[in-house]
C-alpha cells in the first residue's frame, strides 16, 4: 500500500533533520507511529532535555531537494514505499530513503556485489569484468560503487545485464569525474542510487554508508583486490554482519592488493575463482550468519523521569553496549531504556548503533 504523499514528504524531512540517523529514524517511527507525528513531537522532546535551540529543516529546503530530484530525472524511494528494496528493508536499521536514477526495479532483483581496489592491476580488472559478465548471464544484478579500478570493471562487465552503482554523494554527483560516461550509461541501462541529498558532494564520511548499501542490496559480496586497510574490506565486514556471503578472489602474496582477499580467506570467506564458486555457495551453503536483530522497541507511555535518563547515561561508555544489558543493570523495562537512549541521542549524549546497542 502506497504511503500518502504528506507522509513521504515528512519521512524525507525527518531523515534530513539534525541528529536523526537511520537508527534514530526507525525508532522515532516506532515510537510515534509516523514521520508526521515524530516531526510534531521532536522539537518539544529535545527542548525538554535542555536544548532550546533545536529546529527542524524548513519545509522549503525539502521542497527544493524534491525539485532538484525532478530536474535531474531522479526518483525518491522512502522506507515504507512498495518499491523499497526488500533486501535493504531487512537491515537493522534500513536506510530511511534512496534517490535513484534509471531502472529502479533492478533494486528488487537478486544482486551480487563486486568490489575492490581503486588502483587495480590489469589482471584484477579483467577478473572483475569477467565475473560481472558471468553473474549477469546467470541472472544476477551486479552492485558496486562506481570507483576507479575494480568497481569500474565490474560495472562495465554487467552493463548489458543490469548493474547498480551506489554513490557516496548525491545521485547527481558524478565521482570520480572521469567515470562520467560510465555514470550516464548506468543511469540509462542500470540504476544509480544514493541516500545523500541531491547536490551533495561526496565526503570521506559518506563512503561507509555507501558501502553498507552496496552490501545490503546484495546476497553476497566478492572482493577481487584490496589492501588490508581499505573500503572494500569494510564492505566485506558489513556484509558478514548483515548475514550476506563474503567471497574473496585469491592472489599473489607478492602483491599488496592481494593481502585483503587473502586475509578474508583466512577468516573464513568463500574462495572465488569464478561463477561456479558463487553458484555452489548459494546452492549448498547457508549465509554466514543472520544479522543481529534489535530487541523489540516498546516505548513507555508518558514522559521519562530525568533521573532515569541520567542513570542510563552513566552506564554508557565509548564501547558499544546492548540495550538489554543496560536494562538488566538498571532492572528496568527494555522499552524504557530504549526510549531513554533515543532521547539521549537527540541531545548528543549517546550514539545509537545497529542491533540495539549504544555508546557515548
Domain ranges in the chain are 5-94, 102-284, 306-359
pLDDT of residue 289: 42
> 74 φ, ψ to 5°?
-100, 155
160: nearest Cα among 120, 126, 187, 189: 189
pLDDT of residue 285: 52
CATH of 102-284, one of 3.40.50.450, 3.40.50.150, 3.30.70.1060, 3.20.10.10: 3.40.50.450
C-alpha cell at 206: 559518506
Distance CA 30, CA 339 (A): 11
pLDDT of residue 287: 44
Q: Which residues pair with 102 in a beta bridge?
A: 191
Number of CB atoms found within 10 A of residue 73's CB: 11
pTM, two decimals, is 0.86
306-359: CATH architecture: Orthogonal Bundle (1.10)
pLDDT of residue 301: 52
Helical axes 334-346 vs 323-330, angle rounded to 10°: 120
Strand pairing report for 141-144 and 163-166: parallel
pLDDT of residue 141: 97
pLDDT of residue 291: 46
pLDDT of residue 288: 41
Residues of the chain with pLDDT under 50: 287-294
pLDDT of residue 101: 97
Distance CA 235, CA 221 (A): 8
Distance CA 195, CA 98 (A): 5
224: nearest Cα among 136, 116, 91: 116
80 sits in which H/E element: none
Residue-wise DSSP of 110-143: -EEEEE--SS--HHHHHHHHHHHHHHHHTT-EEE
Distance CA 352, CA 143 (A): 28
Amino acid at each position: 500500500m502506497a504511503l500518502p504523499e504528506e507522509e513521504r514528504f515528512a519521512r524525507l524531512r525527518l531523515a534530513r533533520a539534525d541528529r536523526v540517523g537511520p537508527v534514530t529514524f526507525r525508532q522515532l517511527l516506532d515510537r510515534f507511529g509516523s514521520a508526521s507525528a515524530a516531526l510534531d513531537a521532536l522539537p518539544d522532546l529535545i527542548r525538554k532535555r535542555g536544548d532550546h535551540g533545536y529546529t527542524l529543516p524548513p519545509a522549503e529546503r525539502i521542497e527544493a531537494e524534491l525539485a532538484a530530484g525532478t530536474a535531474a530525472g531522479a526518483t525518491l524511494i522512502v522506507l515504507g514505499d512498495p518499491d523499497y528494496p526488500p533486501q535493504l528493508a531487512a537491515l537493522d536499521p534500513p536506510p530511511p530513503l534512496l534517490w535513484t536514477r534509471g531502472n529502479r526495479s533492478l533494486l528488487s532483483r537478486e544482486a551480487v556485489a563486486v568490489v575492490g581496489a581503486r588502483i587495480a592491476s590489469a589482471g584484477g580488472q579483467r577478473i572483475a569484468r569477467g565475473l560481472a559478465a558471468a553473474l549477469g548471464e546467470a541472472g544476477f544484478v551486479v552492485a558496486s560503487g562506481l570507483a576507479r579500478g575494480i568497481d569500474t570493471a565490474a560495472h562495465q562487465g554487467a552493463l548489458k545485464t543490469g548493474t547498480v552503482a551506489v554513490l557516496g554523494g548525491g545521485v547527481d554527483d558524478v565521482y570520480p569525474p572521469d567515470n562520467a560516461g560510465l555514470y550516464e550509461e548506468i543511469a540509462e541501462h542500470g540504476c544509480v542510487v544514493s541516500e545523500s541529498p541531491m547536490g551533495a558532494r561526496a565526503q570521506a564520511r559518506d563512503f561507509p554508508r555507501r558501502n553498507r548499501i552496496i552490501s545490503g542490496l546484495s546476497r553476497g559480496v566478492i572482493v577481487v583486490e584490496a589492501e588490508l586497510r581499505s573500503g572494500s574490506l569494510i564492505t566485506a565486514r558489513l556484509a558478514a554482519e548483515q548475514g550476506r556471503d563474503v567471497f574473496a578472489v585469491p592472489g599473489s602474496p607478492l602483491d599488496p592488493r592481494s593481502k585483503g582477499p587473502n586475509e578474508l580467506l583466512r577468516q573464513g570467506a568463500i574462495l572465488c575463482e569464478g561463477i561456479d564458486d558463487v553458484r555452489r555457495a548459494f546452492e549448498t551453503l547457508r549465509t554466514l550468519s543472520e544479522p543481529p536483530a534489535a530487541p523489540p522497541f516498546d516505548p513507555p507511555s508518558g514522559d521519562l523521569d530525568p533521573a532515569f535518563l541520567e542513570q542510563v547515561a552513566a552506564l554508557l561508555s565509548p564501547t558499544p553496549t546492548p540495550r538489554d544489558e543496560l536494562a538488566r543493570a538498571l532492572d528496568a523495562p527494555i522499552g524504557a531504556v530504549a526510549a531513554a537512549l533515543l532521547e539521549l541521542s537527540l541531545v548528543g549524549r549517546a550514539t545509537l548503533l545497529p542491533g540495539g546497542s549504544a555508546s557515548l
